[in-house]
Amino acid sequence: MKNIDTGLVSSCIERAAATAATLGNDRETLLCCLVCTDYTTLKETDSPLSVTAFTNHALELAAGGLPPVASICVYPSLVDAVGVALAEAPAGSAGENIGITAVCGAFPSGQTYMEVKMLECAMAIENGADEIDVVINVGAMLSGDYDLAESELAMLREEIDGDAVLKVILETGSLADPELIYRASMLAMEAGADFIKTSTGKTPISATPAAVVVMCRAIRDFERSCSRKVGIKVAGGIRTPLDAVLYHTIVAQELGREWLEPSLFRIGASRLVDALVPHLL
């Protein structure tokens, strides 16, 4: 494993926090956070009716003068409801620019048969998903079975076959160790991930600045060695504009401002969008 200098990571976080404090009300920064958001609802009470209302809320905000979010993120069985709501939006509206993300592969645990994971991904894409978020085999990573974790992701990458963006959730709060987070990051990218993502948001510890710094370092190392840019998605517990700006700043600091586009940076959040609105209207 790569040795991670935790002192250096802490210094990076302190520097980012100081910068973020000066950008807390910067309109350009907050707009970037908005357009890079995967607007997410992953409740056990979700239904076609509630998800339609959720999607319409995103469309209404865009119709009111704000740029659209990057995508609406839902469970696979609700992809169709999002697609219908977006399709029913007026021609030329934000509905044409908002993607659909589905959490697949037995989210959030990932504990099922590979055949089931693959079928769920395929069905979500067939129903209109543009992006697929799957969880790495956390148990395999913790037990040291890295080959299993990588082969499963490679199989899902092959199943998707370029029909959707693949985001791999590392569940960094469960991995905990910085060296293991780095290894999981590299493994996921080598398996074909388009994005690596912090968390499901369903564990006691979700996104942390330290984990994001380590992931950014892995992305930078991977890009240098393989000449392929991989995106980063921060998710889990991001509720306030300052939370979002801190992660925006870490990504800018560690990877460069070229990463601050929806094609390479995402924030997975449910409450953040409404928290940003008062600062932008």
- Active site amino acids: 133, 197, 233
- HSE on the CB side for 6, CA within 13 Å? 5
Q: Which residue has the tokens 């080959």?
A: 147
Q: Under DSSP, is residue 243 helix (H, G, I), strand (E, B) or coil?
A: helix
80: tokens are: 């169709």
- How many whole angstroms separate alpha carbon 149 and alpha carbon 249? 31
Amino acid in the structure at residue 81: A
Task: Please give the radius of gyration of the chain, using alpha carbons only, rounded to the nearest integer.
Answer: 18
- How many whole angstroms separate alpha carbon 85 and alpha carbon 193? 29
